């Protein structure tokens, strides 16, 4: 069975600090996708990134970066120079490749960025 663990329930930082959100996953599939979503207070889930299990290259998009390490089954998300607008709940998710491709979510990490 697939499982995603986000051990950090809540994180609070001061603006401009860097912050890393941890994600550890379990799956028996050899091909799978990993995702990060942002859920601001408005409630809508906003897609941030999708990663194929065969692509272990780290990715950077502006202030966001992702570190995928298959050896430790981790897909961590770093926000550099955090801003108040980054305050939200962040979810890591996993899906099989093929079949339903339904998402299995972690419980989320609530990030609060204080001015």
Q: Which residue's CB is nearer to another protein, number 64 or number 105? A: 105
The structure tokens 């859920």 sit at: 39
Instruction: Name the minimum Å distance from CB 95 to another protein.
Output: 9
Q: Which residue's CB is nearer to another protein, number 14 or number 40? A: 40
Instruction: Name the minimum Å distance from CB 97 to another protein.
Output: 9
Q: Which residue's CB is nearer to another protein, number 15 or number 100? A: 100
Binding-site ranges for another protein (CB under 8 A): 4, 35, 37, 42-47, 49-50, 91, 93, 100-108
Instruction: Name the minimum Å distance from CB 38 to another protein.
Output: 11
Task: Give 47's contacts (C-beta < 8 A, 6+ positions apart).
Answer: 35, 37
Handedness of CA 109, 2, 47, 45 (dihedral sign): negative
Q: How far apart are CA 48 and CA 86, in angstroms?
A: 12
Instruction: Name the minimum Å distance from CB 102 to another protein.
Output: 4
Pick from 75, 24, 83, 70: which is nearest to 48 by CA?
Answer: 75
């Amino acid at each position: 069975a697939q499982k995603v663990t986000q051990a950090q329930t809540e994180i609070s930082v001061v603006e401009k600090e860097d912050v890393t959100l941890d994600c550890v996953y379990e799956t028996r599939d050899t091909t799978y996708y990993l995702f990060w979503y942002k859920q601001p207070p408005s409630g809508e889930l906003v897609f941030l990134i999708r990663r194929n299990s065969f692509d272990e290259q780290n990715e950077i998009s502006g202030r966001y970066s992702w570190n995928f390490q298959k050896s430790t089954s981790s897909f961590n998300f770093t926000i550099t120079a955090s801003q108040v607008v980054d305050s939200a709940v962040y979810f890591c998710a996993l899906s099989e490749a093929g079949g339903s491709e339904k998402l299995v979510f972690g419980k989320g990490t609530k990030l609060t960025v204080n001015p």
